[in-house]
Structure 1
């Protein structure tokens, strides 16, 4: 969980393999934002499967974790993903964070010392199940759709 623009947001993925900080449209709309709040973003974004993602634009918002706040420029994507946002390398570097996928934790310095945020293995499993279920549904739709 992270606080994005004063809202507590669940299902945030910290991904050291992502070159961008990404917000999915369901979170964008849930924050009460509108398309006029977006600025242009012209660089293509490629998914894990190699397909180019259609981008809505970009927006800068404050993200707060354990009392440490940084401005994050999110690329807004209108696509399904079980997480609501991805905090990638730009956020990791801005925070001075050290993520560990093995321990499902991220550590970063704060004025009070080193903060440790623990991930939820249960939530990660739920997101994985949702992604697999969505992919299976998409594959079945392709099989039944006439050409």
Structure 2
């Protein structure tokens, strides 16, 4: 459990493999924060299966981990995603690194240094097992939905040679990049 914007939030996935922190639309709506604080974010997220999910935006929220007096409060940037999930929030490795956290899958614990010692959060073994089983069933039934972005908003790409006259050494770049930026990237 984490406290997000003053609300106790359960079903948190601590994901050492995720490069971002994610909050799902339904959870975001329950926080009763002003939706105007959502900032644009255009890059897709790539799932394990290679599918793309387009975030609705990025939002900075106050998060407290641990319980008094051994707790840590920080501002986190979450990508807000409208996607079915058993979890309310995913905390990724960048946040875990900022917290200097140690995770134990076996013990379902996260420990982190605080000013006067060590704080910790303990997971719920029964809830973790239930979530895992539901995810397995959903994957077997292929019930995951991937939101596709409007085709007209996707930038066209062009093929660019990285080395003159070596057609095997190519990449693709967006057509709206300036020539100066293209040269820098190449």
TM-score, length basis structure 2: 0.69
Q: Where do 5+ consecutive residues of structure 2 fail to align?
A: 145-186
Q: How much has 1:72 moved relative to structure 2?
A: 0.6
* 1:126 correspondence with 2:112: no
Q: Do structure 1's residue 44 and structure 2's residue 47 form an aligned pair?
A: no
Q: Which residue of 2 aligns with 1:107?
A: 111
Relative contact order higher in (CA < 8 Å, ≥ 6 apart): 1
Distance of 2:99 and 2:38 partners within structure 1: 24
Aligned residues: 139
After TM superposition, the runs of 4+ consecutive aligned structure 1 residues lying more than 2 A away are 33-37, 129-139
> C-alpha distance in 2, partners of 1:19/1:97?
15
Indicate whether 1:117 and 2:129 are aligned. no
1:137 is displaced (CA, Å) by 6.8
Which of 82, 89, 93 is the equivalent residue of 2:86? 82
User: Which one has the largest radius of gyration?
Assistant: 2
Q: Deviations over 1:43-68 (max 9, x none)?
A: 22111211001210000011101221
Query: Could you tell me how far apart the structure 2 residues matched to 1:34 and 1:5 are?
Result: 12
**Deviates further, 98-107 or 22-31:** 98-107
The structural deviation recorded for 1:130 is 2.7
